[in-house]
């Protein structure tokens, strides 16, 4: 699946969940592993194929927005790229990628 981002359909490898599924797709596991390097108020909700996060801001000036965070950053660089204005908008914009259909 993919999401419109950067003028193209950007691949979304997985969305995290709260269940007893694959450990690598668990929201709590992902957050525990990287919480100390994420921007303030940013909750990872999924990832792309390069291990970068799609995340939801849960408070602050960007509250309710979804943004993409590149994990290859200098320490203290909290810059993100906006993806959508809300979680619902992000979820509604997800669509199948051509490679998945063919």
- The structural domains of the chain, with segments of one domain joined by +, span 2-101
Residue ranges with strand state E in the chain: 2-5, 8-11, 14-15, 42-47, 53-57, 66-69, 81-84
What's the number of CA atoms in the CB half-sphere (13 Å) around residue 75? 1
* pLDDT for the residue 25: 76
Among 15, 67, 3, 17, CA closest to 39: 67
What are the pLDDT digits (tens) for 43-77?
999 999 999 999 999 999 999 999 999 988 887 78
pLDDT classification of 101: cutoffs 50, 70, 90:
very low
Q: Are 9 and 2 in contact (CB under 8 A)?
A: yes
* pLDDT for the residue 42: 96
């Amino acid at each position: 699946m993919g999401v419109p981002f950067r003028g193209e359909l950007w691949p979304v490898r997985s969305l995290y969940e709260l269940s007893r599924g694959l450990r690598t797709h668990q929201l709590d596991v992902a957050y525990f592993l990287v919480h100390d390097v994420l921007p303030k108020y940013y909750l990872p909700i999924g990832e792309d194929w390069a291990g970068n996060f799609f995340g939801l801001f849960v408070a602050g000036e960007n509250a309710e927005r979804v943004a993409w965070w590149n994990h290859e950053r200098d320490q203290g660089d909290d810059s993100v790229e906006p993806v959508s204005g809300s979680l619902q908008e992000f979820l509604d914009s997800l669509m199948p990628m051509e490679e998945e259909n063919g």
